[in-house]
Amino acid sequence: MLDRITASLPSLAPAEQRVGKLCLSDPRAFAKLPVSELADRAHVSKPTVVRFCRSVGYDGLADFKRKLAGTINEGVPFIHRSVDADDKIGDIMVKVIDNTVAAFLKYRNEASTPAMDRAVNALIEAYTQGRQVPFFGVGNSGIVAQDGQHKFFRLGVNTTAYSDGHMQVMCASVLRPGDCVVVISNSGRTRDLMDACDIARKNGATTIVITASGSPLASAGHIHLNADHPEGFDKYSPMVSRLLHLMIIDILATAVALRIGSNTLQPLLSDMRNNLRSKRYT
């Protein structure tokens, strides 16, 4: 919820921004203070406080304060950072969705366009030369790697996905200049992925890493696509991080598809769709 407020601030009116900044500076106090006190502290009117709450997607001040109180709790360890043990189904739905939306908005506002452009250029170069584009990930990131392989092989890219550390090292060992490997990690501290990334880079392959800023893996690749989020990898089940990684893969696949061009892709995808018709019930 706090990430969502931060992401929404630039689009708010100046008076509403002051209310938002007051909330971010001390969310616990904001959740407890009456509207008159909040208005005085933010130097706005009481209706402005209510308008702020509605502008960021809540029904009013009471709804906003109730959900803010839940957000600033520690959550349930190993399950989700935004929920409480006694939450009803409706509360869980709202909290999980809001937490995900906030992470996406934060990424939209902070993502590095130059880094994404470099990654797309590297992938296009590998595609043009018919070189390898493997995806590496373990655990939940291994599932994202499989999604990457699924997205890119349909574009005619020579791609594979490996979630086993030994296979990653073996694959990295045969990569050469012109190849491009995409390494995905929530923590950015997985030893197998670090080893494979180092080997691929030493062999001259371009390494794209999708991981958290400041992690060892972030500085190990040629191109870092930051996937920063508030979900602690050592405390909570990876949910937002996995969705964020999948979204980054979707952005890469969409950009690469546009660069390849519809004249090349349409016949390929049309044939694939026709060949799949027998697999479906009419």
Across-strand partners of 224? 209
Please tell me the distance from the alpha carbon of residue 10 to that of residue 90, in angstroms, as a whole number.
29
For 220-261, the pLDDT digits (tens) are 999 999 988 766 555 456 678 889 999 999 999 999 999 999
Calculate helix-pair angle for 89-110, 240-260, nearest 10 degrees.
Answer: 50
pLDDT category, 108, cuts 50, 70, 90? confident
Q: Which of 252, 248, 239 is nearest to 98 (CA)?
A: 239
For 89-101, the pLDDT digits (tens) are 887 787 778 778 8
User: Is the CB of residue 96 less than 8 Å from the CB of residue 82?
Assistant: yes
DSSP 58-102: -SSHHHHHHHHHHHTS--BTTTBSS--TT--HHHHHHHHHHHHHH
Q: How much of the chain, in percent, has pLDDT values that exceed 70? A: 91
Strand extents, DSSP E, the chain: 132-136, 158-162, 180-184, 206-211, 223-226
pLDDT of res. 40: 94
Domains (range + CATH), the chain: 2-110 (1.10.10.10), 113-275 (3.40.50.10490)
User: What are 215-223's contacts with CB under 8 Å, separation 24+?
Assistant: 215/185, 215/187, 215/188, 215/189, 216/188, 216/189, 217/183, 217/185, 217/188, 217/189, 217/190, 217/193, 218/188, 220/194, 221/183, 221/197, 222/122, 223/115, 223/118, 223/119, 223/122
pLDDT of res. 91: 78
pLDDT(163) > 80: yes
pLDDT(7) > 90: no
More confident residue, 116 or 96: 116
Please tell me the distance from the alpha carbon of residue 192 to that of residue 166, in angstroms, as a whole number.
8
Average pLDDT of the residues of the chain: 88
pLDDT(46) > 90: yes
Question: In angstroms, what CA-CA distances link 73 with 2, 63, 81, 259, 260?
Answer: 12, 16, 8, 45, 47
pLDDT of res. 94: 78
pLDDT of res. 29: 85
Question: In angstroms, what CA-CA distances link 267 with 59, 129, 156, 176, 263?
Answer: 49, 20, 11, 30, 7
**pTM for this prediction:** 0.70
pLDDT(4) > 70: yes
